[in-house]
């Protein structure tokens, strides 16, 4: 190989390396942090909500990776216990979805609020953007419980000036055709609907991070 050819090869390799580094630096790393609704209970990995949303965002031209950090059965207390090690360094944004299991188990709304508040503070201390996701208490818990639990998400979004997606199961709740047989979790078609409805909020979140 001539000196000129060798220099050209070195230049090409260096250029490719720099382009790769720039691309990696521009990628937005998100984490879906939640319970079974986030994890994709009984679904293939590609049918989970984070995977569906990542595909939709990429189809829109956003260089985004969404890590699925959902754990089935998690309460807000479980989330608080693992938030520090479940959200890796380099994460720029978290889609925070917890509380459904608290309500299903009739746990104290005050404790749920305090746990979510603490999770938000942990993430903000790391300068990680947060998109808060709401979920209402099931009607069978009674109106008194609903009055205490349901305002939690809006109140915290207002307190910390966070974007809020009010109802994670919008378009899926009470729709048997897009749910598993348990009548609670979305099936593959359900997560597709959820991601499509969530997309405008996610786009705004990504744009906010990029600013």
Active-site position among 59, 144, 161, 182: 182
Burial (Cβ within 10 Å: 0-12, 13-18, ≥19) of residue 185: buried
Active-site position among 36, 48, 102, 112: 36
- Both tokens of 210, joined, read 């990029």
185 a catalytic residue: yes
Active-site position among 35, 48, 112, 185: 185
Q: Which of 51, 62, 139, 210 is nearest to 147 (CA)?
A: 139
84 a catalytic residue: no
89 a catalytic residue: no
Task: Name the residues annotated as catalytic.
Answer: 36, 182, 185
């Amino acid at each position: 190989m001539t000196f000129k050819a060798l220099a050209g090869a070195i230049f090409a390799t260096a250029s490719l390396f720099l382009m790769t580094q720039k691309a990696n630096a521009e990628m937005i790393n998100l984490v879906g942090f939640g319970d079974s609704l986030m994890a994709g209970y009984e679904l293939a990995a590609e049918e989970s909500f984070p995977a569906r949303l990542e595909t939709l965002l990429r189809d829109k031209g956003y260089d985004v990776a969404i890590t699925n950090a959902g754990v089935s059965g998690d309460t807000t207390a479980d989330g608080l216990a693992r938030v520090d090690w479940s959200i890796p360094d380099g994460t720029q944004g978290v889609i925070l979805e917890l509380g459904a299991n608290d309500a299903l188990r009739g746990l104290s709304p005050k404790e749920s609020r305090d746990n979510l508040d603490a999770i938000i503070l942990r993430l903000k201390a790391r300068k990680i953007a947060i998109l808060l996701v709401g979920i209402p208490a099931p009607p069978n818990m009674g109106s008194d419980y609903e009055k205490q639990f349901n305002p939690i998400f809006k109140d915290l979004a207002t307190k910390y000036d966070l974007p809020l997606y009010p109802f994670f199961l919008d378009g899926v709740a009470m729709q048997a055709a897009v749910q598993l047989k348990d009548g609670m979790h979305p099936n593959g078609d359900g997560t597709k609907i959820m991601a499509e409805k969530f997309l405008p909020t996610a786009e705004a979140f990504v744009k906010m991070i990029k600013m």
